[in-house]
């Protein structure tokens, strides 16, 4: 059986079509046009708004014209993560998806079920004329994964819906009614490179490879190692014992993905080569021991001889930068005091690039409390400013505050219990969802988020649990039948 033949076929067929269209964040024009064409082919109104979002509209079915309008909302972009050595080009190549027991996966890449599964479900509602519903609006936003650009630019008069179903959660049986806010922290500096004097020196490429990684919101509490932090720890030890001189450093590639890989080119005095390699072996052993319970395997931390670079980072600059990478917060900062199982504030040291006379560091700070988000960001500004970097904060957004009296959530909880015989879990999450941003322009809109079960989103291990997709889609259909009158 192929992925597109799974049940419910109307969802899986659409999901498979999405996997064949390249749609990494920042490259969504092709999939946006595909979605508009799809809607038109099934008799629905559709267009791309000024922000690059796709809006579809479908009239009510017979006898349901007086129901309030419902918005089905998802995002069209996906996180482009792949295994080390994979030749996949996310801007041109389709995904290679396959069935693995009860799971659907993609070979050597992210699956894009975050949020392709939400998009596919919305497409299925547009396509299937047997579904009973009131007026429907579908909002498929662009570039959610890199800054929620589409949601931020959504105009306040674009939608008419009273209720919004966000289809971007990752545990079936849970209804999310709140999420953390976030802030991008961008650090940059220019420096004058030094000419390398190769006499008496050897060069090595040091690399940490194929860590678990993960979603920097919903998986930050799991304690997965951050490749940038591990590399910083090694470099701090090597530089401060005169065992290495930094030429370049690169790690991570997405703000909201815990970095899986990092590599540095360093110069090593020939007389200290044996000691340097011993430090590499020691770090590998220490890191493996520290993270054995969450990684479940030996950490790959290696040093291999490489071509001698012609440039290096000045001593004071390398010390300042490595000190800052060591000192900056990464991971969970605080749990919500009244909900000790839920992360309140965290940081992901997402991207590090030091080469060719320019240093760049990108971090994503998250918190469900604005004051703690500001505290964290101010600490990061102080840390990297002391290293001589220019630090800017951008793309900030407040969290989505739970509405305990939500009429929509009450309907959903009642419907779920009647369908499946047990009550759903109603909670908040530490990931960033677009509901809070959309709610700024639509303060009266009643919202909730849910989805099928996904594991390891934002990593090449991402997978979707097949049986939960049918439950997820049937739940959508039953909610639509129970939307109140206007």
d(CA 114, CA 412): 22
d(CA 257, CA 165): 25
Per-residue tokens: 417: 């219990």
Per-residue tokens: 214: 């993960």
CA atoms within 13 A on the CB side of 239: 25
Q: What angle do CA 430, 438, 444 make, to 5 degrees?
A: 110
Which residue do the tokens 């579908």 mark? Answer: 138
CA atoms within 13 A on the CB side of 389: 31
CA atoms within 13 A on the CB side of 444: 8
CB atoms within 10 A of CB 481: 15
d(CA 77, CA 114): 8
Annotated active-site residue in 137, 144, 261, 295: 144
d(CA 435, CA 177): 9
Compute CA 240 distance to the chain's CA centroid, rounded to the nearest angstrom: 34
- Catalytic (active site) residue 144: yes
CB atoms within 10 A of CB 4: 16
- Catalytic (active site) residue 341: no
> Which residues have a catalytic role annotated?
77, 144
């Amino acid at each position: 059986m192929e992925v597109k033949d799974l049940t419910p076929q109307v969802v899986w067929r659409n999901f498979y079509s999405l996997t064949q269209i390249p749609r990494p964040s920042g490259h969504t024009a092709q999939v946006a046009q595909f979605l508009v064409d799809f809607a038109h082919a099934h008799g629905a109104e559709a267009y791309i708004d000024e922000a690059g979002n796709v809006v579809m509209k479908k009239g009510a079915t017979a006898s349901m014209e007086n129901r309030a309008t419902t918005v089905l909302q998802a995002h069209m972009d996906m996180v482009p993560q792949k295994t080390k050595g994979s030749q996949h080009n996310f801007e041109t190549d389709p995904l290679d998806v396959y069935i693995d027991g009860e799971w659907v996966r993609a070979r050597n890449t992210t699956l894009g079920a975050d949020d392709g599964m939400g998009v596919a479900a919305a497409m299925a509602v547009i396509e299937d004329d047997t579904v009973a519903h009131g007026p429907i609006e579908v909002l498929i936003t662009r570039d959610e994964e890199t800054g929620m650009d589409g949601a931020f630019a959504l105009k306040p008069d674009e939608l008419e819906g009273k209720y919004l179903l966000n289809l971007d959660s990752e545990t079936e049986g849970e209804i999310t009614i709140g999420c953390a806010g976030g802030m991008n922290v961008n650090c940059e500096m220019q420096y004058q490179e030094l000419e390398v004097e190769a006499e008496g020196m050897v060069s090595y490429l040091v690399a940490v490879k194929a860590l678990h990684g993960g979603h920097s919101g919903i998986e930050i509490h799991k304690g997965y190692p951050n490749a940038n932090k591990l590399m910083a720890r090694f470099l701090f030890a090597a530089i401060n014992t005169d065992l290495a001189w930094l030429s370049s450093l690169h790690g991570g590639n997405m703000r909201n993905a815990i970095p899986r890989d990092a590599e540095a080119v360093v110069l090593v005095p020939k007389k200290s080569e044996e000691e340097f390699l011993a430090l590499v072996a020691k770090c590998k052993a220490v890191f493996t021991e520290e993270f054995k319970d969450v990684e479940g395997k030996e950490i790959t931390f290696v040093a291999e001889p490489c071509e001698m670079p012609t440039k290096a980072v000045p001593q004071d600059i390398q010390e300042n930068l490595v000190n800052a990478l060591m000192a900056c917060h990464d991971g969970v900062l605080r749990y919500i005091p009244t909900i000790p199982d839920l992360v309140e504030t965290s940081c992901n040291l997402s991207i590090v690039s030091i080469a060719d006379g320019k240093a760049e560091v990108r971090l994503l700070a998250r918190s469900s409390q604005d004051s703690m988000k500001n505290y964290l960001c101010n600490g990061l500004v102080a840390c990297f400013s002391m290293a001589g970097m220019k630090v800017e904060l951008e793309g900030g957004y407040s969290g989505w505050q739970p509405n305990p009296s939500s009429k929509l959530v009450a309907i959903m909880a009642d419907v779920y219990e009647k369908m499946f015989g047990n009550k759903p879990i109603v909670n908040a999450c530490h990931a960033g969802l677009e509901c809070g941003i959309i709610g700024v322009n639509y303060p009266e809109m009643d919202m909730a988020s849910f989805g099928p079960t996904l594991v390891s989103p934002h990593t090449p291990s991402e997978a979707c649990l097949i049986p939960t997709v049918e439950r997820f889609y049937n739940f959508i259909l039953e909610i639509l039948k129970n939307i109140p009158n206007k």
